[in-house]
Chains A and B, each alone.
Chain A
Amino acid sequence: MAPVSEPYRVNVDRKIFPPVANREAHLVLRDIAFAIEHRSFVVMTGPSGCGKSTLLNVIAGLDREFEGKIDLGTAAPTIGYIFQSPRLLPWRTVEENISLVLPPGDPRQERVPDMLARVGLTAYASAYPERLSLGMQRRVALARGFVLEPDILLMDEPFVSLDDPTARDLRQLLMDLWHRRPTTVLFVTHDRTEAVMLGTRILRLSGGSATLVQDEAVRLSPEDRSDPEKVRAEQRRIFHDA
């Protein structure tokens, strides 16, 4: 567990996609610099395809070809990543998918059944992921991200392509898990309402070669977030729309 210390710092001066067969080199990200306070819930929004996922991969360390510096403190923090698709291992059961992110014999292994119960999948512990609905697979991915108790949890549009009630349930579940064990979250979405409902702070990226155009604290209490009127008003304040 990382001690409470300096905030994480993200500096991406330039990120270029090299030229491929029929496409020229493309500047995806430029001049992005921000700090993330510990245990804050930061939401990044921006138009589809602007480079939000690329930025998340850079921060996660999956993509190291960029100019800049990602400073996540001295000790390597535990990172959880909930991807846009659930990315479960189809040949492992729900329970195995969750417990596999922990080393064998790790004391946290004992929390796997509890985590399954919290995401409401106890009855499906020994089912294979492809037999579950997308919403249920996303629950497994959430459980996998949280059971690790990561220092940073990266989330890339984890509730996209779900019907409204399912997405709402999962957002509620995410909030419950986060309140139970607050951790630093960086959440990517292009859904502005979702951004306001979840985040304590919103970062807006521009389209084209994406850069940071707005950095705004969300002024909503946890209770306000379940009030659609207040969410809409806050969304209007931040995005000047809706």
Chain B
Amino acid sequence: MLNYSTLRASAAHVSANNAWLARLAWSLGSLLIFLIFWDVAANLIDHRHLPTPLQVWHTLVQEIRTGNLLFHVGMTLARVVVSFFVAMLIGAALGLALGKSKLADKLFDSWLIFFLNLPALVIIILCYVWFGLTETAAVLAVAINKIPNVAVTVREGARSLSRDLNEMAQIYRFGWWKTLRHVTLPQLAPFFAAAARSGLSLVWKIVLVVELLGRSNGVGFQLHTAFQLFDVSMILAYAVSFIIVVQIIEMGILQPIEARVNRWRR
């Protein structure tokens, strides 16, 4: 005997799978059109500053074979990860404090606006000037660029924390740790997710600039070298490979975390 509800559940599963496949097909299709357009344009213009997709592919494969790509992408990724976590941690703590204390908010609001509007390049240059061309200076420069964004986002969340739930936690003597873990942080989760998503794309772009200006490895450094040689094929090969890495992080790490954090929603 077939159970009707199981049947319906599996039908829903199949249609969800189909929707996913359809989306994938559309993405691949539009990507293919882009590649064709690029190839035709490159062949028409026929200039060494605009390589065809196939030439970029060959450069990519060659860079993978020599191990260069893995090394430089790995270095960049390490910097992205460290500065991302430093920025998220400090930015979140700052945002929470600003959202909860009116005094702190009044005191530091203009600082925040100052740092939000300070060009990334200025922070990078100053960090290198003050702390030398070191790894610490590089990571610090990236983190400082990102901290104000995280703080502003988390501050919005902290301002909207539920007083009702706080009173509940107080009555039932949750204590600070239990309150943070079960009452405060879950309310802030959507704000963390927003900060993490915009953060990742911002951080990796700034890391490249930091590498270009003062590091001797990483994707930014490689781009700098390729720029001096006017090697556009190399530039595109590194750009494409980093886009792929970031997409993998986005889909493989950030999206599953977001889905898990939101599973209680109806």
Complex contact B171–A91 (CB within 8 A): no
Instruction: Specify which chain A residues have a CB less than 8 angstroms from the CB of B265 in the assembled complex.
Output: 90, 130
- Once A91-B264, A100-B178, A128-B264 are accepted as A-B contacts, the answer to whether A81 and B186 lie under 8 Å apart by CB is no
Query: Which residue on A lies nearest to B178, using beta carbons?
Result: A100
What secondary structure prevails in chain B residues at the interface with A?
helix
Instruction: Specify which chain B residues have a CB less than 8 angstroms from the CB of A89 in the assembled complex.
Output: 165, 182-183, 186
> In the bound complex, how far is the Cα of B169 from the Cα of A101, in angstroms?
8
Number of interface residues of A (CB under 8 A): 20
A131 sits at the interface (CB 8 A): yes
A160 sits at the interface (CB 8 A): no
A174 sits at the interface (CB 8 A): no
Query: Which residue on B lies nearest to A132, using beta carbons?
Result: B266
B174 sits at the interface (CB 8 A): yes
Q: Which of B172, B186, B263 has the most chain A CB atoms closer than 10 A to its own CB?
A: B172
> In the bound complex, how far is the Cα of B167 from the Cα of A90, in angstroms?
15
Q: Which of A81, A87, A128, A144 has the most chain B CB atoms closer than 10 A to its own CB?
A: A87
Q: Taking the nearest CB of chain A, how far is it from the CB of B102, in angstroms?
A: 15
> In the bound complex, how far is the Cα of B265 from the Cα of A128, in angstroms?
8
Segment 67-118 of A: residues with Cβ below 8 Å from B: 79-81, 83, 85, 87, 89-92, 100-101
Query: Which residue on A lies nearest to B261, using beta carbons?
Result: A91
Segment 163-182 of B: residues with Cβ below 8 Å from A: 164-165, 167-168, 170-172, 174, 178, 182
What secondary structure prevails in chain A residues at the interface with B?
loop
Complex contact A85–B264 (CB within 8 A): no
Query: Which residue on B lies nearest to A145, using beta carbons?
Result: B172
Q: Pick the contact of A62 from B171, B183, B263, B266 — CB < 8 Å?
A: B171
Query: Which residue on B lies nearest to A87, using beta carbons?
Result: B168
Segment 33-85 of A: residues with Cβ below 8 Å from B: 57, 60, 62, 79-81, 83, 85
Instruction: Specify which chain A residues have a CB less than 8 angstroms from the CB of B261 in the assembled complex.
Output: 91
Q: Which of B167, B171, B178 has the most chain A CB atoms closer than 10 A to its own CB?
A: B171
Query: Which residue on B lies nearest to A63, using beta carbons?
Result: B167
Complex contact A92–B182 (CB within 8 A): yes
Instruction: Specify which chain A residues have a CB less than 8 angstroms from the CB of B174 in the assembled complex.
Output: 100
Complex contact B170–A62 (CB within 8 A): yes
Instruction: Specify which chain B residues have a CB less than 8 angstroms from the CB of A100 in the assembled complex.
Output: 172, 174, 178, 182
Instruction: Specify which chain A residues have a CB less than 8 angstroms from the CB of B170 in the assembled complex.
Output: 62
Instruction: Specify which chain A residues have a CB less than 8 angstroms from the CB of B263 in the assembled complex.
Output: 128
Complex contact B264–A130 (CB within 8 A): yes
Instruction: Specify which chain A residues have a CB less than 8 angstroms from the CB of B167 in the assembled complex.
Output: 57, 62, 81, 83, 87
Instruction: Specify which chain B residues have a CB less than 8 angstroms from the CB of A57 in the assembled complex.
Output: 167
Q: Taking the nearest CB of chain B, how far is it from the CB of A76, in angstroms?
A: 9
Query: Which residue on B lies nearest to A127, using beta carbons?
Result: B264
Complex contact B172–A101 (CB within 8 A): yes
> In the bound complex, how far is the Cα of B183 from the Cα of A81, in angstroms?
17
Segment 185-213 of B: residues with Cβ below 8 Å from A: 186, 189
15 A-B pairs besides A90-B264, A92-B186, A130-B264 with CB distance below 8 A are: A57-B167, A62-B167, A62-B171, A83-B168, A85-B164, A87-B164, A87-B165, A87-B167, A87-B168, A89-B165, A89-B186, A90-B265, A100-B174, A130-B266, A144-B172
